[in-house]
Each structure stands twice: as C-alpha cells, then as structure tokens.
C-alpha cells in the first residue's frame, strides 16, 4: 500500500511538540486494539533526552515516536513486520528492535532494510522487549488519515472494498 507521499528521508529530532499528536495517538489506539492485549504502549510523547545521551533530545519529544512493548517475542516480530510491510502507508521512518544480540537492530527509511548493530548503539539492547517506532510529521498530525489507512488494511484482510 503506497499512501504516504513523503520523501525517503529520516527526520530524527526536528522540534519539540506542545503535546500528543492526533495521528500518533490514533496509531497507538489501533495497534493496541488489534493486538488484543499482546502489545502495550510503553510511551509516546514525553519531553526528555535520549537514554544514555544527555543533552541530545529524544524523538519522543516531537510526538512522533512510540515504544511498543511485548511479552512474547513472536508478537514483537509480527508487529515489526507489520510496520515494515506498511512503512509507506504509516510514514514509518525508523524502527528499533532492542531484543537481538549483541546490540539490537534498526530499520531505517533511507535504506529500507534491517541493520544489525555491531556495537552498543541503543540503550536497552540486547533482550529489550519493545520496539521503538518513529513516523513522519504528516502522519503524526493526521488522525483521519490513520483511520483511512486502517480501513483499507482491514478491508484487504476481509476481502472487500471499504468504499462499497
């Protein structure tokens, strides 16, 4: 599904948000609902520095980052696969998976592939049971767009057109 029209660039920290962003919150709501308690929201908007990097603002401060926790590794892998398959639709720019040894792994929109970290890169790896997901500014601000994307995705899984 190709709905996101943005360039394949990674934004990172650009500016501090004044609060939660509607599209980010709507995305969290859908993920939690559709995973029936298997996935938890460990945090989204929070003004803070990156873990272990004093003075370097976290993307959580922008309102575009979400930490999704899981207990069962298979559930975490399924969620990571969901975001990679639908990266364009959700404006996904970065996914960090803290579980793999020796130092976790990351998926980035600029390379469209997973990279195993060869040295300590993210605090919490290995064996961290959460995914860090960052989305574009355009998607973070648009709850109606998230509704539209999920309507299309759910229609695809049911085999009918949501517009009919």
- pLDDT at 163 (0 to 100): 44
Phi first, then psi: give them for residue 93, nearest 5 degrees: -105, -30
110-152 pLDDT, tens digit per residue, is 999 999 999 999 989 999 999 999 999 999 999 999 999 999 9
What pLDDT is attached to residue 4?
A: 57
Please, which residues bridge with residue 68 across strands? Answer: 41, 131
pLDDT of residue 69: 98
Q: Which residues of the chain have pLDDT under 50?
A: 1, 161-164
Q: What is the pLDDT of residue 164?
A: 43
Q: What is the pTM of this model?
A: 0.90
The confidence score (pLDDT) of residue 54 equals 78
pLDDT at 162: 43
Q: Is residue 136 a contact partner of residue 7, using CB atoms and an 8 Å limit?
A: no
Residue with tokens 């990097």: 53
Q: Where are the domains of the chain?
A: 22-158
């Amino acid at each position: 599904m190709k709905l996101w029209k943005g360039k394949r660039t990674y934004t990172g920290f650009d500016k501090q948000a004044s609060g939660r962003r509607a599209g980010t919150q709507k995305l969290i709501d859908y993920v939690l609902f559709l995973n029936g308690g298997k996935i938890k929201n460990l945090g989204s908007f929070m003004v803070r520095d990156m873990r272990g990097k004093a003075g370097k603002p976290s993307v959580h401060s922008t309102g575009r980052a979400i930490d999704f926790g899981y207990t069962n590794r298979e559930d975490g892998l399924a969620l990571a696969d969901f975001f990679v398959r639908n990266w364009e639709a959700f404006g996904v720019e970065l996914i960090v998976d803290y579980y793999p040894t020796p130092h976790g792994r990351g998926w980035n929109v600029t390379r469209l592939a997973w990279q195993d970290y060869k040295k300590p890169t993210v605090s919490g790896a290995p064996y961290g049971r959460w995914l860090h997901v960052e989305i574009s500014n355009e998607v973070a601000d648009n709850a109606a767009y998230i509704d539209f994307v999920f309507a299309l995705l759910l229609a695809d899984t049911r085999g009918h057109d949501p517009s009919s």
